[in-house]
Amino acid sequence: MKQWLKRSLWVGLAVLLIFVAVAYYQVRSMGLIPRYDYDTEAPNLPAFSRPAVLVFTKTNGFIHKEAIPVAKSVLSTLITEQGWQAYLTDNAAVHSPELLAQFDLIIWNNVSGDVLTELQRDALRQWLEGGGGWLGIHASGGDHSYRWQWYVDTLVGAQFIGHTMHPQFQDADVLVADPASPITQHLPSPWLVADEEWYAFAANPRDKGYEILLTVDESSYQVKGDNLFGSDHMPGEHPIAWRHALGKGRVLYSAIGHQPHTYRLADYQRFLVEAMHWLRSPQKTAQPDPAKAVPTVRREGEL
């Protein structure tokens, strides 16, 4: 083989390997390749002097790189404005009976993939059934890689099957299913939400007795049906936010929240605030003392 041809083949192989490596890095950095990274060393929590809210963000699946930090900031502000304290972490080992007992409410902020060990799963389930409140946002209920069937079938209540594609982000009309609820009564119906990603689920949680809060009007956006990421269509009612009781506890899930600008919407912020208040009631009725000047937002490692 001629020398120039050998050199060309080696250069071509090198370029191909570089391309594959870069592509793999990009796919992995987006979380498209599921990871199984489990935390076992628990964080050291500060001493809370006000009702405490855990904002948990861990991504063993798709990583919402733009939405997660904005959601953290917005949620921290909203929690602080209620006179509560926020604790932010991506350490799943916070899910232990001793540590969860210090929180009044848990928010899973775009959590993806399988993130809890068996002991951590048991701790969360027992805390919820014993009277805790759980708010799941967007990816926390929209993922194929959760390996905990109770989480999918009972906690969230529906299996994610896909989202809008071509285009992925679209304007759509959100319809208020329960206008009498304090969580939704401030919203217009239809409520136009711009440039969002719309999830679909295998079945309607209403069939399990869960209360539907919001639905999306499929006639208001481009429905493609089956696509590369599953399907964006549901027959009949297409729920995107619902709530239910779980033992003595309460659960609320909202599929809205892929885009960072959505968290800046005043209507969505109020929805989240009202959801948090519902999740803390009726067993968490203690009112904070506004005279206590303490830091209200803590991140892992801040004591």
Q: Tell how far CA 287 is from the center of its chain.
A: 27
> Strand runs (DSSP E) across 110-232, as ranges?
133-137, 160-163, 170-176, 191-196, 199-201, 211-216, 226-227, 230-231
Query: In the structure, what pLDDT confidence band is assigned to residue 28 with cuts at 50, 70 and 90?
Result: very low
DSSP letters for 195-222: EE--EEESS-GGGGTPEEEEEE-GGGS-
* DSSP state letter for 145: -
pLDDT at 144: 81
Q: Express each pLDDT in 144-198 by its tens digit.
A: 888 999 999 999 999 999 999 999 999 999 999 999 999 999 999 999 999 999 9
E strand or H helix at 254: strand 249-254
pLDDT at residue 281, rounded to an integer:
80
* pTM, full prediction: 0.86
Cα four-point dihedral sign 186, 107, 150, 65: positive
Average pLDDT value over all residues in the chain: 88
How would you class 87 by CB atoms within 10 Å of its CB: exposed for 0-12, middle for 13-18, buried for 19 or more?
buried
pLDDT of residue 286: 39
Residue-wise pLDDT for 244-255, tens only, equals 999 999 999 999
Confidence of residue 14 (pLDDT cuts 50, 70, 90): low
Distance CA 75, CA 170 (A): 24
C-alpha 224: how far from its chain's center?
Answer: 24
Domain ranges within the chain, ordered by starting residue: 1-30, 52-299
Q: Tell me what pLDDT residue 33 has.
A: 82
Check residue 12 and give its pLDDT: 58
pLDDT above 80 for 260: yes
Least confident of 11-20, 41-50, 290-299: 290-299
One-letter amino acid at 298 equals R
pLDDT at 129: 97
Over range 87-104, report the average pLDDT: 98
Burial class, 29, CB count within 10 angstroms (exposed 0-12 / middle 13-18 / buried 19+): exposed
Residue keyed to tokens 């969505």: 268
Q: Which CATH number fits domain 52-299: 3.40.50.1110, 3.40.50.880, 3.30.479.10, 2.40.40.20?
A: 3.40.50.880
Query: Band of the pLDDT at 270, cuts 50, 70, 90?
Result: very high
Note the pLDDT of residue 145. Answer: 82
pLDDT for 108 equals 98
Q: How sure is the predictor about 136, in pLDDT bands with cuts at 50, 70 and 90?
A: very high
The residue among 154, 114, 105 whose CA lies nearest residue 132 is 105
Would you state the structure tokens that stand for residue 274, as one six-digit string? 């009202």
Q: Give the pLDDT confidence of 34-59 residue by residue, as tens digits.
A: 899 999 999 999 999 999 999 999 99
Q: Rounded CA gap, 91 and 77, in Å?
A: 21
Structure tokens, 4: 């120039």
pLDDT at 5: 63
Residue 92: the pLDDT is 98
For residue 126, name the pLDDT band (cuts at 50, 70, 90): very high
Percentage, residues of the chain above pLDDT 90: 77
3-state DSSP helix/strand/coil percent for the chain, to nearest 5?
Answer: 35, 25, 45
